[in-house]
Structure 1
């Protein structure tokens, strides 16, 4: 039975999937916009540290006031409307709730939200992929221990890439490379929240009208978010990180098979079975026609003469050898699609992507020369950006994961372009996120 048919059946039986949302920002608002159109799914509660902000966003997306007028969780359950609270703890403790959507964008907080939700028997759809990038495999394990599912969020690019990889392997195709598109020039790694909008392609006024967070969008532009999302894919799909980080090779959709193939076959990749990102700009800044900036792709191999002949017979666009082809989706709809993950974990007991490996890692890297005494401000900020590395390499060098590079004081200077290490900062070892990360390093690599 399809997910939609299952949702309709939930509605018919008057037993909807009961959902709690932590964080009602931009991504959360997009999910909220689809709830009224989705049968068999009720949003019981929203937890936001600023409830007034949640109300503002509900008004912005067109919810009627009576839809979020519940005065308690009991009222929300009885009348199938939504209760807004500032207590995420109260939300995850409600026994009636089936799925928690973690949507704060704060990786340290997200780890705590996930762990507590597992303890109370809740599936988690984790939109905060920054947390997945530095401890996803342990979150997956904790979910299993508690008999629930931990999932990436469909609509966000990592889960969509995972879906393409699963499709390819399910068809019997070797996966050569998988990834997303991006707008990239090397200088963007130095971008800050003050400079982001012009390079992104919006005015400050447009960003303000849309309620867009400059630090969050800068985490995309400066390469941090592509590194984070590529790491999530590598650790979900057992793919590898490029040895020295993402190259952001310029490529159109049609050129993907030629570009994203091994160097030994005329392409740009070090090897097969890797994650990578395609830029929509040539290195001189010239836009590429038919770009894949907002999409996802997987390059597969026709590894027999017969399969390559089938590609030709059915008009499949391949590389110039006829051996490789790319399957892609040009657009993703972000939070508008996350209901697929909610339905999948609740009705099929299946995640839409979950970390089972620790192949890749995202390392905090200095945007400029940093001095002892400065405070790191995490992804999208003024001090560091994220660079993907093989996890074995980053753990051996004691590199600081980007997701934990928030509000940490430097005790040593770090030169521009260099990885920040645990030796360079005053670490808060009391954080659950820190402890989980250390446990994961020890589990996979015997690190102490």
Structure 2
């Protein structure tokens, strides 16, 4: 049997995981149990009972789980070799933390955890894209100033795409577009004419005649979009992830709402070509998301990531087309892609890279802002809160805009804030429109925004 290597460190990396009782936390904890070089010793989540149940399900003996309520109790539990499941930050024993993996998804709390970790000399792996979109630039700058590492977590689409971009650029390509598939495929059954998107089923028999791009790809995309118009295909999470990718790559949205074509993977090189060659892209280096159209029995793109590059020698790329690679019909473009993101299963790669100082991740800058555009007229006193699986905010739509557009409020800085004055439908919410925004996160955002791009 081929097995993981034996320990290479004199002591394992001690991981503090915040937002532990979620899907990401579970996948990371499961994987860490396979790796002798790192271990999750402190797990923070308000639902301590849920964390405890999860640990038991993962095979952790009940006697090895502690639920301390003070930092002193946590220290005692760790000294006894137990895992500490704790409800809040005041019970963290920071002296026993080498690495924070932040996965709360909540700006105020997550920023405080990350900032405190850096103050206490711990590296940070940021899984919470919401925090990254607001304060990631400032947190990364603080980490550098302290000789620490602050990295997006492998396994989530932003870090995977940043890693793919690094590989693509190292190979010598120019990138025309980069992005990912949306979280849920459009599973179309030609036999019934139905489309299933994560359990939501609609009738869309017209798709049966739209499975190929045909001679007019733009007309085909419009017809596909009409066929599935009853489905909500975009999500704030998608916009946030592409904004994070922008911070690290300099990529920008071609249009603020992104294109979201309904597409099949073998079409990507044609669809994300430049407009002069029949594609969607009006500015190179564009970030975008597509909805994968999949037939029964076909593999998923699995929320994976892609980069569209300009090709070179036609003979070379015809050879590669013959081996199954995705090349545009005119041969000018190719899609290089990884059809996966494995969540916490990949994150140990980032943990090791942070501790060892081997990451090649570029310094982030606020190249774009994940902003909030009012869907309808918003009255003074309107309060905002993040809700649901995709962390949406009612009343506003997420958009990706240029940071030079003015004092624009980042989308997730609205969480917990209220409007001090009316905002007209179609307008971007500005910082001056808000009261009660998290002060520390706001200061971090302003600090990051001030850094040269």
Shared topology, TM-score over 0.5? yes
For residues 289 and 321 of structure 2, what CA distance do their matches in structure 1 show? 27
Q: What corresponds to 1:102 in structure 2?
A: 102
Secondary structure, counterpart of 1:255 in structure 2: helix
The 8 Å contact of residues 252 and 288 in structure 1, kept in 2 or not, is answered as no
Q: What corresponds to 1:148 in structure 2?
A: 148
Q: What corresponds to 2:63 in structure 1?
A: 66
For residues 354 and 31 of structure 1, what CA distance do their matches in structure 2 show? 24
Q: What corresponds to 2:250 in structure 1?
A: 238
CA spacing shift, 1:23–1:64, aligned 2, 3 Å: same
CA spacing shift, 1:273–1:287, aligned 2, 3 Å: farther
Give 1:144-293 correspondences, 5 Å limit.
Answer: 144-182=144-182, 200-201=198-199, 222-280=234-292, 292=301
Between 1:336-345 and 1:156-165, the stretch displaced more is 336-345
For residues 288 and 315 of structure 1, what CA distance do their matches in structure 2 show? 18
For residues 75 and 298 of structure 2, what CA distance do their matches in structure 1 show? 54
1:149-182 residue CA offsets vs partner (Å, 9 max, x unmatched):
0011111111111111111011111122111111
Q: Does 1:44 align with 2:35?
A: no
For residues 439 and 93 of structure 2, what CA distance do their matches in structure 1 show? 20
Who wins on radius of gyration, i.e. which is larger? Answer: 2
The 8 Å contact of residues 24 and 46 in structure 1, kept in 2 or not, is answered as yes
For residues 103 and 92 of structure 1, what CA distance do their matches in structure 2 show? 18
Between 1:142-151 and 1:245-254, the stretch displaced more is 245-254
CA spacing shift, 1:348–1:38, aligned 2, 3 Å: same
**What is the aligned length?**
402
> Of 335, 340, 359, which aligns to 1:331?
340
Q: Does 1:17 align with 2:13?
A: yes
CA spacing shift, 1:293–1:86, aligned 2, 3 Å: closer
Q: What corresponds to 1:214 in structure 2?
A: none
- Superposed displacement of residue 123, structure 1: 0.6
For residues 417 and 63 of structure 1, what CA distance do their matches in structure 2 show? 51
Alpha-carbon RMSD: 3.0
For residues 31 and 200 of structure 2, what CA distance do their matches in structure 1 show? 25
Give 1:23-38 correspondences, 5 Å limit.
Answer: 23-26=19-22, 27-38=24-35
The normalised TM-score by structure 1 is: 0.81
The 8 Å contact of residues 101 and 124 in structure 1, kept in 2 or not, is answered as yes
CA spacing shift, 1:289–1:176, aligned 2, 3 Å: farther
The normalised TM-score by structure 2 is: 0.80
1:13-32 residue CA offsets vs partner (Å, 9 max, x unmatched):
4x111111122121212211
CA spacing shift, 1:183–1:103, aligned 2, 3 Å: closer
For residues 411 and 87 of structure 1, what CA distance do their matches in structure 2 show? 31
